[in-house]
Amino acid sequence: MSLYSKRGVSAQKEEVHAATKHLDQGLYPNAFCKIYPDYLSGEEDFVSVMHADGAGTKSILAYLYWKETGDISVWKGIAQDAIVMNLDDLLCVGIYDNIIFNSTIDRNKSVIPGEVLSQIINGSQQLFDELKTFGVNIHYLGGETADVGDVVRTIAVNGTMTARWPKNKLISNDNIVAGDVIVGLASYGQSTYETEYNSGIGSNGLTSARHDVLGKYYAENFKESYNNSLPEEVVYIGNYKLTDTITFTIDQSPFATTIGKLILSPTRSYAPVLKIVLANQFDKIHGLIHCSGGGQTKCMKYLPGNFRIIKDNLFEAPEIFKIIQESSGSNNREMYEVFNMGCRLEIYCAAEDADIMIAAAKAFNIEAQVIGRVEANDKKELVIRLKDEEIVY
């Protein structure tokens, strides 16, 4: 059993999928989000999408960082995580405008004061204001904030997004065909709309990252930050503190930051890029995949048929994932199943259109390249080829 499983979490969420397998899969079962008829208006040419997600256990890392450093602004990043994990899923079905957002925040009032709530709520509005400058309009309608100390140890930050969208402007993934290439967009670096280096961590696999990288200091001093029923051998087993300095090379130059900055990098949204691509190159996009829960294996769930996906030109894993793997001792198979490993968005298109997608990303200083291709096959299969290893899922 993996460390991930021993901590009571699952990269593939098998039990969740088993519980929901009999629910209506919507109009387009291969689409990245469930898409339903526009029940409210009854207009046949429109659909409705409602999606819920959140920052997950990354909020616990923000709590530890805030307590250790006093930097309360870290909570704005958690607001961004909760929003982007919704928004970038909607982007993958083609929706990029006129979206409604409601937040859901559950806190333990004894450890999370009102000042933290202000950072999250005002940070949400600040992100919406920034996205509006790129033509991505999200309407913030408030939401629910509950004091439920008997339920949560610290805080859970989640949200729901909903939109109406024309049927003829949807990405359903049904157009993915053998011969398509996969353009991958990097999750790391510093885009033109980010103020500092982004490690690429996103908002998945943070239970693993937190316990594998950080040391027993946090178990001893912050009992409220973890499930106290877990066996000691899986709790905060790393060697780092959030304030420890890490130096590595970016573009052949040394770069220094802290473990906390790396592990709490706000999830990057690809909305500015996809707004342009979806508005101007819609017919050239065959499919979109957000490599969130399930990491590089996420694409397997949304294929419209039996295909072999070959990823043989992925980005070199950025520093944060090297640190996590070294700390945990996880093999590559588990790492690529849990984390995005530096590539969090996939655009499926014809080979002759790849340069258009790459150029759109690079205009925002986001690295992009053809990371793989789609082949005909007698079953759904994913092959990841690394420098010295081939992994088959």
For the stretch 80-132, pLDDT in tens is 999 999 999 999 999 999 999 999 999 999 999 999 999 999 999 999 999 99
- Mean pLDDT of all residues in 362-390: 97
Q: Which domains are delineated in the chain?
A: 3-195+264-392 (3.30.1330.10)
Tokens of 390: 């081939």
Whether residue 11 is predicted with pLDDT greater than 80 in this model: the reply is no
- Mean pLDDT of all residues in 242-269: 96
User: What is the Cα–Cα distance from 26 to 51, expressed in whole angstroms?
Assistant: 13
Give me the pLDDT at residue 24, please. Answer: 76
Cβ atoms of 309 and 370 closer than 8 Å: no
Whether residue 3 is predicted with pLDDT greater than 90 in this model: the reply is no
For the whole model, what pTM was predicted? Answer: 0.94
User: What is the Cα–Cα distance from 196 to 24, expressed in whole angstroms?
Assistant: 42
b/e string for 179-203 if b means 16 or more Cβ within 10 A? ebbbbbbbbbbebebbeebbbbbbb
Give me the pLDDT at residue 225, please. Answer: 96
Contacts by residues 146-150 (CB-CB < 8 Å, ≥ 24 positions apart): 146/105, 146/106, 146/107, 147/107, 147/108, 147/109, 148/106, 148/107, 148/108, 149/107, 149/108, 149/109, 149/110
- Supply the DSSP symbol for 107: E
Whether residue 33 is predicted with pLDDT greater than 80 in this model: the reply is yes
Tokens of 385: 């080829």
User: What is the Cα–Cα distance from 334 to 349, expressed in whole angstroms?
Assistant: 28
Whether residue 22 is predicted with pLDDT greater than 80 in this model: the reply is no
**In 3D, which of 26, 156, 29 has the Cα closest to residue 81?**
156
User: What is the Cα–Cα distance from 380 to 173, expressed in whole angstroms?
Assistant: 15
Measured in whole angstroms, the distance separating CA 392 from the mean position of its chain's CA atoms is: 23
Which band of pLDDT confidence, cut at 50, 70 and 90, is reported for residue 207?
very high
Query: By three-state DSSP, how is residue 299 classified?
Result: helix
Residue 147 is which amino acid?
D
User: What is the Cα–Cα distance from 63 to 210, expressed in whole angstroms?
Assistant: 12
- Mean pLDDT of all residues in 173-194: 98
pLDDT, mean over the chain: 95
For the stretch 334-363, pLDDT in tens is 999 999 999 999 999 999 999 999 999 999
* Cα–Cα–Cα angle for 330, 201, 75, rounded to 5 degrees: 130
For the stretch 39-92, pLDDT in tens is 988 899 999 999 999 999 999 999 999 999 999 999 999 999 999 999 999 999
Which band of pLDDT confidence, cut at 50, 70 and 90, is reported for residue 203?
very high
What is the radius of gyration, based on Cα positions, of the chain?
A: 20
3-state secondary structure 218-234: HHHHCHHHCCCCCCHHH
User: What is the Cα–Cα distance from 147 to 151, expressed in whole angstroms?
Assistant: 9
* Cα–Cα–Cα angle for 100, 169, 17, rounded to 5 degrees: 65
Tokens of 251: 């573009």
Which band of pLDDT confidence, cut at 50, 70 and 90, is reported for residue 238?
very high
Give me the pLDDT at residue 7, please. Answer: 63
Give me the pLDDT at residue 121, please. Answer: 97
- Mean pLDDT of all residues in 272-299: 97
Give me the pLDDT at residue 23, please. Answer: 73
Whether residue 278 is predicted with pLDDT greater than 80 in this model: the reply is yes
Give the number of other Cβ atoms within 10 Å of residue 130's Cβ. Answer: 15
User: What is the Cα–Cα distance from 104 to 83, expressed in whole angstroms?
Assistant: 11
DSSP strands (E only) in 75-214: 99-107, 138-147, 155-166, 181-186
Whether residue 28 is predicted with pLDDT greater than 90 in this model: the reply is yes
Residue position matching structure tokens 């397998």: 21
Q: How many residues does the chain have?
A: 393
